[in-house]
Structure 1
Amino acid sequence: MPDRCDVLIVGAGPAGNACARVLAQAGLDVLLVDQQPQGRDKICGDGLIPDAHAALKRLGLLDQVMSQSQHVTHVGCIGPRGGRIDVPGSLAVLPRRQLDNLMCQAAQDAGAKFLAPARFEKPLEDGQGRVNGALLKVGDALVEVQAQWLILATGAVPKALQAAGMCERHTPSGVALRGYVRAPEMVGKIKALEIVWGEAVRPGYAWIFPAPDNCFNIGVGVTDSHSAVGGKGSKKELNLRNILDAFVASYAPAAELMRVGEVVGDFKGAPLRCSLNGARWSRPGLMVTGEAAGSTYSFTGEGIGKAMETGMLVADAILAGRAKSQTEGEVRQAYELSLKALKPKFDLYHRANRVNAFPLLADILIWRAQRSPRLLQRMSGVLNETSNPGNLVSLKGFSRLFLE
């Protein structure tokens, strides 16, 4: 294995893979490492909404991903009283095991080297405290790899952030549970990305997404699952499996899916890091990207597209710095400014998260959208990131609902 490179990227998920591919295509010496072998599973809803499509297009991978995905034309929003509105969009579903494997291979095809399993232990530092690589555990051996830049794309689990001195919030923003159910009988019955709100899943939401091979991704997510206590946070009282069971009992399509289908593997839970909060974004020689930086939207729980986007922002900052002979500090500043430019949109999604806490708001939105083409267009704009989700659930927004 190499003992030095231009850029060492820890984490072969969407953010790390996207960053590696862009940098390798530009001719940089990139080493991408992960603690699990290529093609590892990842707990996720697997939905690819328009921002993910845009990122994949830039990476030159959209057609390849779409050829393996289940195509979907609508998000089905279902309220606690059973009201429904189908919001159109360019959508798809591909299990993360396949997506991450495809993207990791694409990074290697571009010239990046890949090493797994390799666990990040801590950053290496020079005499001035600048990060200049990382200590990795490869098998039973501890290996030092020198690098001009260390990129942490290590997801929601904070261990790597803590080891690197980048963790500002130890607890996650939310938690989710998902499983796969194979049910050929349900193909054609559940055709949209179904998002369900109600008392059974409050203060979160549930979903059923049609996936390839006659499978469905079913799960529940709870945002704001932890409350700050003494700086470290404490978990609220909740049991995701009980919430899933309550969802299945209260939503007829979910009950039918579980009755006629075959569960594939185990239901698995995972943390979420949202709203670009909870971690320092950079320090000398090191930048944090993807869900490690909080790239998941609070309201929707969508994170694949924004993970790729932030990974490419890291790459763009490094490449621009090389082209302009910028200092290390200028490169980090450019990256942080690009994240700050995204932050207002993340804040709006966090504001829209009140729908999860008060599901009757979803009923009102759905009821009005059924009668207002303009409101449906605005909801589609939220999906396509051309409308602000926070405006839909503000006091001003609700007053407008009855004027449209």
Structure 2
Amino acid sequence: MTPDDLPTRCDVLVVGAGPAGSACAQALARDGVGVLLVDQHRFPRDKVCGDGLIPDAHAALRRLGVHDEVMDRAQRATHVACIAPRGGRVEVPGTLAVLPRRELDHLLAQAATRAGAMLAAPWRFEAPLLDGGRVVGARLRAGERLNEVYARWVVLATGAVPQALIAAGLCRRRTPSAVALRGYVRHDGLAGRLRALEVVWHRRLARGYGWIFPGPGGVFNVGVGLTHSHAAGADGRATMADVNLRAMFTAFAEVHAPARELLAEGTWLGDLKGAPLRCSLDGAAWSRPGLLVAGEAAGSTYAFTGEGIGKALETGLLAAHAIVRARREGLDDAAARAGYERSLAALKPRYDLYERANRVNHHPWLADLVIWRARRTPALVRRMAGVLDETADPSQMASVRGVAKLLLPMR
């Protein structure tokens, strides 16, 4: 769609064509809703991410009817390898895959257009259009060009960068919850040997972790993440922790032999790129009259693991469900917003569990203890698999009671 084709009115304007926005647009269009989906970049476009698809993402992709299409392009995996500071390793089974976001997001956006949504790019959200305090559309910018689009609902799915939230009056915390740095490296030799998604804890990566995820075509996504990256100082302003992510990335290669081999012998594809993360459904209001917030803009990423694709998809589907239900049942704005916020609030307790499990990132010795015990206790590996597929409480393994249990005999 060219700038001249941009409509001035639609039923729902979805801003951001990542997983949350495209899932929302597809679900709405399938129900006969007139949807305009806009993104600030032309597709296909890159997105800094670990690219891992864990069980919740697989479930959402099946709901969208695109799972087979995604898996045809993805690199499948059967285990996450958890690697402790002292080198202990345990492989946790799960339904897993890796596909670069450049491809995944393009597939999802195409699925939305096949369902009937209109996709327009590059258009960036400038500000909401208001009528008596209710959002009735948005002002969009493409270069020097400004357009106004009026809509019954606006869904903001603009990711972790806070500018759109600020413009919409919904931002409660401008700084991110975490930051990450990743690159792509091709190494055909490692492709045959490194098949699990590797996550590494080490004291030199304190407050975070490193990862190597095998993708299609012998290309690995390798990176480091720093959790709780920003904290409020004495003046109340949040600043980033005194950690150099590039130095952390270098340390990862020094402490983890496969990372060292990959970076020394592989072929870099592009540059290292960094990105913020918004976690734990925190940092933004979830709605205002006429507008819903979905995906990472709402904080849909898990704090402990940094995984966000599955929950971004899920929140996009929840936003679509709230709008469709309001249309079908004749609900007013307040009822539609309340329904959506209840659906996010129902997810919040699990996010809180992952926030508590973040102790492992802050205290790498906990990873040593958990992995040491898991190597000797099949029941603990099953609990770890339950964390991966969201049937077990991740915080228990990082609590005082959980640690005490690890020191006692287990069956």
TM over 0.5: yes
Q: CA deviation at 1:400?
A: 2.0
Q: 2:40 aligns with which of 35, 40, 47?
A: 35
Alignment match, 1:167: 171
Q: What amino acid maps onto 1:393 in structure 2? A: A
Instruction: Give the residue type in structure 2 aligned to 1:272.
Output: L
Write the deviation string for residues 155-198 of structure 1: whole angstroms up to 9, x where unpaired: 00000000000000010001000000000011122110000000
Question: After the TM superposition, which segments of 4 or more aligned residues of structure 1 sit over 4 Å from their partners?
Answer: none
CA distances 1:246-269 after superposition (whole Å, capped 9, x unpaired): 110111111111111001000000
Question: 1:330-349 counterparts in 2 under 5 A?
Answer: 330-349=335-354
Q: Which residue of 1 aligns with 2:115?
A: 110
Deviation by residue 1:90-146 (Cα, 9 ceiling, x = unmatched) = 0000000000000000000000001100011000000x2100000011342211100
Contact 1:169 1:232 in 2 (8 A): no
- The letter of the residue matching 1:185 is G
Distance (whole Å) between structure 1 residues aligned to residue 9 and residue 328 of structure 2? 22
Paired with 1:371 and 1:167, the residues of 2 have a C-alpha distance of: 46
Equivalent in the alignment of 1:140: 144
Q: Secondary structure of the residue that 2:305 maps to in structure 1?
A: coil
SS of the residue 2:211 aligns to: strand
Larger mean CA deviation between 322-331 and 295-304 belongs to: 322-331
Q: Indicate the SS of the match to 2:184.
A: strand
Q: Which residue of 1 aligns with 2:199?
A: 195
> What is the correspondence of 1:16-165 to structure 2 with a 5 Å cutoff?
16-126=21-131, 128-165=132-169
Counterparts of residues 302-321 of structure 1 (less than 5 Å):
302-321=307-326
SS at match of 1:266: coil
Cα distance in 1 between the residues matched to 2:243 and 2:264 = 25
Letter in 2 for 1:165: G
Whole-angstrom distance in 1 between the partners of 2:133 and 2:409 = 59
Calculate percent identity across the aligned residue pairs: 60
| Equivalent of residue 229 in structure 2, options 225, 230, 236 | 225
Match of 1:403 among 374, 397, 409: 409
Tell me what 1:185 maps to.
189
**What CA distance in whole angstroms lies between the structure 1 residues aligned with 2:290 and 2:168?**
11
Give the CA RMSD over aligned residues: 0.8
**d(CA) in 2 for partners of 1:124 and 1:43?**
30
| 1:291-350 Cα distance to aligned partner (Å, 9 max, x none) | 000000000000000000000000011111111111111000000000000000000000
Aligned counterparts of 1:54 and 1:228: Cα–Cα separation in 2: 37
For the structure 1 residues 231 and 151, does the alpha-carbon distance in structure 2 shift closer, same or farther, using more than 3 Å as the test? farther
Q: d(CA) in 2 for partners of 1:123 and 1:356? A: 38
Residue in structure 2 matched with residue 258 of structure 1 by the alignment: 263
In structure 2, give the amino acid aligned to 1:359: P
What code does the residue aligned with 2:215 have?
A
SS in 2 for 1:44: coil
TM-score, structure 2 normalization = 0.97
Cα distance in 2 between the residues matched to 1:48 and 1:196? 18
Q: How many Å separate the matches in 2 of 1:330 and 1:228?
A: 35
Secondary structure of the 1:167 match is coil
- 1:351 and 2:333 are equivalent in the alignment: no
The equivalences for 1:317-396 within 5 A come to 317-396=322-401
Unaligned runs of 5+ in 2: 1-5
Paired residue type of 1:243: M
Relative to the length of structure 1, the TM-score reads 0.99
- 1:120 is paired with a residue whose SS is strand
What is the distance in 2 between the residues matched to 1:113 and 1:120? 16
